[in-house]
Chain A
Amino acid sequence: MSLPRLPTGLLPFVVLATYLLTVLPLPGVLVHAKPFWLGLLMIWLALEQPERGSLGVALLLGLGADVLLGTWFGEHAFRLVVITFIVRRFRPRLRFFTLWQQTLAVGALLLNDRIVILMLRSFASATSPDLLFWLPALVGMLMWPLLVIALDDLRQRLRARSAG
Chain B
Amino acid sequence: MAVAGDKNALFASGQADTLRLILYLTIAVALMVTDHHSGYLQQIRAAMGAVAVPLYRIAQAPVEGARWLHAAGSERVELKRENDALRAELLLAQARMNAARIETEQNRRLQDLLDAGRRYRLSGRMVQVFDIDIDPYRQRLILDAGNTNAVRVGQPVIDAHGLVGQVMSTTASSSTVMLITDPDHAVPIRNARTGQRAVAYGQGRDDRIVLPTLPMNSDIVPGDELLTSGLGGRFPAGFPVAIVREVGVDENGTFAQAAAEPLARLRQSSELLLLEESAEMTAEEQWPADGIGPPYQRPPVEGAVP
A→B interface (CB under 8 Å): 1-2, 5, 16, 19-20, 22-26, 31-32, 34, 48-51, 54-56, 58-59, 62-63, 67-75, 77-78, 81-82, 85, 88-89, 91-92, 120, 124-125, 127, 129, 133
Name the distance in Å between A18's Cβ and chain B's nearest Cβ: 11
Q: Is the CB of A25 within 8 A of B59?
A: yes
A50 and B132 in contact, given A23-B56, A78-B25 (Cβ under 8 angstroms)? no
A51 to B27, CA, bound (A): 21
Closest A residue to B23 using CB positions = A55
30 A-B contacts, Cβ less than 8 Å apart? A1-B1, A5-B3, A19-B55, A20-B55, A20-B59, A23-B56, A23-B134, A24-B132, A24-B133, A25-B63, A50-B5, A51-B8, A58-B24, A59-B28, A62-B28, A67-B48, A68-B52, A70-B138, A70-B142, A70-B176, A72-B32, A73-B35, A73-B41, A74-B29, A85-B18, A88-B13, A120-B32, A125-B183, A127-B183, A133-B137
Residues of chain A contacted by B27 (CB below 8 angstroms): 59, 74, 77
Asked if B100 CB lies within 8 Å of chain A CBs, one says: no
A82 to B14, CA, bound (A): 14
Q: Is the CB of A34 within 8 A of B133?
A: yes
Q: Is the CB of B1 within 8 A of A74?
A: no
Name the distance in Å between B79's Cβ and chain A's nearest Cβ: 24
Residues of chain A contacted by B176 (CB below 8 angstroms): 70
B→A interface (CB under 8 Å): 1-3, 5, 8-10, 13-14, 17-18, 20-21, 24-25, 27-32, 34-36, 41, 44-45, 48-49, 51-52, 55-56, 58-60, 62-63, 131-138, 140, 142, 169, 176, 183-184, 204
Q: Is the CB of B20 within 8 A of A56?
A: yes
Residues of chain B contacted by A77 (CB below 8 angstroms): 24, 27-28, 31
Residues of chain B contacted by A48 (CB below 8 angstroms): 3
Q: Is the CB of B3 within 8 A of A78?
A: no
Partner of B1, one of A2, A23, A72, A127: A2
Partner of B17, one of A1, A16, A59, A89: A89
Closest B residue to A121 using CB positions = B137
Residues of chain B contacted by A19 (CB below 8 angstroms): 55
Closest A residue to B136 using CB positions = A31
Closest A residue to B48 using CB positions = A67
Those 6 A-B pairs whose CB atoms lie nearest each other, nearest first? A74-B31, A78-B28, A74-B28, A74-B32, A73-B35, A125-B183
Name the distance in Å between B45's Cβ and chain A's nearest Cβ: 6
Residues of chain B contacted by A88 (CB below 8 angstroms): 9, 13, 17
A75 to B183, CA, bound (A): 17
A34 to B62, CA, bound (A): 17
Q: Is the CB of A73 within 8 A of B5?
A: no
Residues of chain B contacted by A91 (CB below 8 angstroms): 9
Instruction: Given A16-B55, A74-B29, output 11 extra A-B contacts at Cβ < 8 Å.
Output: A2-B3, A23-B59, A25-B59, A25-B133, A31-B136, A34-B133, A70-B176, A81-B28, A89-B17, A127-B137, A133-B137
A23 and B135 in contact, given A59-B27, A73-B45, A88-B17 (Cβ under 8 angstroms)? no
A99 to B225, CA, bound (A): 56
Q: Is the CB of B183 within 8 A of A85?
A: no
Q: Is the CB of B32 within 8 A of A73?
A: yes
Name the distance in Å between A27's Cβ and chain B's nearest Cβ: 9
Closest B residue to A26 using CB positions = B133
Residues of chain B contacted by A70 (CB below 8 angstroms): 134, 138, 140, 142, 169, 176
Closest A residue to B66 using CB positions = A27
Residues of chain A contacted by B49 (CB below 8 angstroms): 67
